[in-house]
Amino acid sequence: MRVAGPVQHTAYRSEWGLLIRPLLGMRDWRYDFKKGECIMFHEDRCTVCGDCLSWCPYIEIDEEDARKEFKKIIDGDPSRVISECVSCMGCDEICPEKANPFSLIIKRQEAQGEFKRFEKAKQNMELAYSMPSEIRTGSEDGPVIDLCTVWPMTPHLFEGVLFEGATFLKGGRYFCGIGFYHIGMESPVEEHAAAVVEEVARCGAREIVCFHDDCYTFFKVKAPEFGVEVPFRVVSWPEFLYRRMKELEERIRPLDVSVAYQRPCASRYTPEKDAFVDDLFELIGARKPSRSFEGVRALCCGGSLVPRDYEMSNRIKHQNLKDAADAGARIMVTLCPMCFLNLRKRAPEHNLLLTTISDLCRAALGEIAIG
């Protein structure tokens, strides 16, 4: 297993010999505070401007009502928002005061028992913690990749030169649980946080690559918020792919194609990795067209909406895909495996090829063809 070099504030040098530049000009406010502080809703920062709700693409509400409803949420009074919120986590990113409104909303959802509406999803996630687990050991100097419990959804993704020598962590012992947020629950994630971190740390690697964006968010943001120390450096999937493709740069055949990027919900907590997506696209010759639903305005893949409102879920999926196609994209890539599964049936209706970000890299290496 690969052991990484020391982490510095200005740059990071790994054993792979690559200097990963700092994200200049970006202020990642989530890591400015003492451990545990971010988990709280900061009422002292909140101006009750209502932007967190009036911006929301999933709740129909004007600015005046948004201010009234959020004041109800603060005061603990009944609010329609608690039931209508789809838990996309976007309001935390959009809040101009960084008051963490979703941190309050998710607590109100759980207290109100919103999760009872999604009993099947709740049971499946509870069972995920007990899924059979294994470590598939690779070479001594290979990367250690946490696959959580999602690898059966897309097992073909871990083939080819990108993953040579990799050690894979699989199963329930590595389940991050972030999916609970999508059904209005936070407590199971907190309850299991220490055990999950301990299990991953047990493999002895000083650097862990997270395939699933949820896992990266769990280790990078949520576990520290719960007061759990993470004793290894956590690497996002875009950073890992960028580093590997830099190693393999001589093999790259520029794709010269317009590619839209589906930003997952968990990236609301970890926007710093968007820079690696942009760098990766440039490296492999993928042009990202400017479109309405990208960055902070990105739409959910629709998966979390299915058990709440199937019609809305379907509408959001088509709206998202049409936006990408209208912007001139020929391909849409996903970072999250759930986004891939939720959009794959509808993408062809908009003449879009849907693929994952790792398969896009493999196409640039000439290992596979897309479409």
Whose tokens are 């740390």? That residue is 201
pLDDT in tens, 293-310: 999 999 999 988 887 888
pLDDT in tens, 125-141: 999 999 999 999 999 99
Q: Does the structure show a pLDDT above 50 at 3?
A: no
- Within a domain: 275: yes
Write the DSSP symbol of residue 7.
B
Nearest one of 282, 293, 288 to 259, comparing CA atoms: 288
Tokens describing residue 239: 């950073």
The domain boundary residue, chosen from 69, 90, 112: 112
Same domain, 126 and 191: yes
Spell out a b/e string for 187-219, using b for 16 or more CB atoms within 10 Å of the CB, else e: ebbbebbeebbebbeebebbbbbbbbbbbbbbb
pLDDT in tens, 236-257: 999 999 999 999 999 999 999 9
Same domain, 259 and 334: yes
Same domain, 126 and 229: yes
- Within a domain: 299: yes
Can you tell me the distance from the alpha carbon of 52 to that of 78, in angstroms, rounded to the nearest whole number?
18
- Within a domain: 330: yes
The overall average pLDDT reported for the chain is 88
Same domain, 199 and 269: no
Q: Does the structure show a pLDDT above 80 at 155?
A: no
Please give the sequence-ordered ranges of beta strands (E in DSSP) within 171-299, or none if there are none: 207-210, 233-235, 257-262, 286-287
Q: Does the structure show a pLDDT above 50 at 117?
A: yes
Q: Does the structure show a pLDDT above 80 at 42?
A: yes
3 state DSSP class of 151:
helix
DSSP β-bridge partners for residue 257: 286
Q: Does the structure show a pLDDT above 50 at 9?
A: no
What pLDDT, on the 0 to 100 scale, is given for residue 36? 35
Same domain, 132 and 93: no
What pLDDT, on the 0 to 100 scale, is given for residue 153? 80
Looking at the chain, how many residues does it have? 371
Can you tell me the distance from the alpha carbon of 114 to that of 117, in angstroms, rounded to the nearest whole number?
6
pLDDT in tens, 254-267: 999 999 999 999 99
Same domain, 129 and 221: yes
Comparing 78-87, 148-157, 349-358, the range with the smallest average pLDDT is: 148-157
Same domain, 201 and 136: yes
Q: Which domain holds residue 100?
A: 32-112
Number of domains into which the chain is organized: 3
- Within a domain: 25: no
Q: Does the structure show a pLDDT above 90 at 23?
A: no
What pLDDT, on the 0 to 100 scale, is given for residue 6? 30
Asked whether the beta carbons of 89 and 266 are under 8 A apart, the reply is: yes
- Within a domain: 191: yes
CATH at residue 208: 3.40.50
Instruction: State how far Cα 288 lies from the chain centre.
Output: 19
* 232 CB-near residues (< 8 Å, 6+ apart): 200, 201, 205, 206, 207, 208
pLDDT in tens, 186-226: 999 999 999 999 999 999 999 999 999 999 999 999 999 99
Same domain, 78 and 148: no
